[in-house]
């Protein structure tokens, strides 16, 4: 398998799409923690609201990312955004907005 990274520049702000993608990944990861299989998780994502910018392919990629994270950490509790950033947020050294931007997951297609 080969990974190709293409630089992408857009005049449009992609932050809302990245936020929705990250939300779906975190939701799906938590469903995998509960013991659901991929088919059940795919069905459960249809009930999510506010993911109108994502198409079905993007949602499927988010499910695959969540499954990869679940496999990597073997069901342990994961702090999305990193432990270091979480500690900095708890100590009020970074703002809530900064922490939310740092915990975004890159979109994989």
In a domain, 8, yes or no: no
Alpha helices in the chain (DSSP H): 15-33, 38-45, 56-73, 83-90, 96-102
Rounded CA separation 22/37 (Å):
20
In a domain, 4, yes or no: no
pLDDT tens for residues 60-107?
A: 999 999 999 999 998 788 889 889 999 999 999 999 999 999 999 888
In a domain, 54, yes or no: yes
In a domain, 9, yes or no: no
Rg of the chain, C-alpha, whole Å: 15
In a domain, 89, yes or no: no
Our CA dihedral for 14, 20, 21, 25, rounded to 10 degrees, sits at 160
Domain that holds residue 24: 15-78
pLDDT tens for residues 21-51?
A: 999 999 999 999 999 999 999 999 999 988 8
Q: Are 76 and 30 contacting, i.e. CB atoms less than 8 angstroms apart?
A: no
């Amino acid at each position: 398998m080969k990974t190709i990274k293409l630089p992408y520049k857009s005049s449009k702000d992609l932050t809302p799409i990245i936020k929705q993608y990250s939300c779906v990944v975190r939701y799906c990861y938590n469903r995998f923690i509960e013991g659901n299989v991929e088919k059940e998780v795919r069905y459960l994502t249809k009930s999510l609201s506010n993911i109108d910018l994502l198409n079905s392919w993007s949602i499927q990629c988010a499910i695959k990312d969540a499954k990869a994270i679940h496999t990597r950490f073997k069901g342990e509790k994961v702090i999305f955004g990193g432990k270091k950033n979480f500690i900095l947020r708890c100590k009020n050294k970074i703002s809530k907005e900064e922490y939310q931007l740092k915990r975004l997951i890159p979109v994989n297609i």
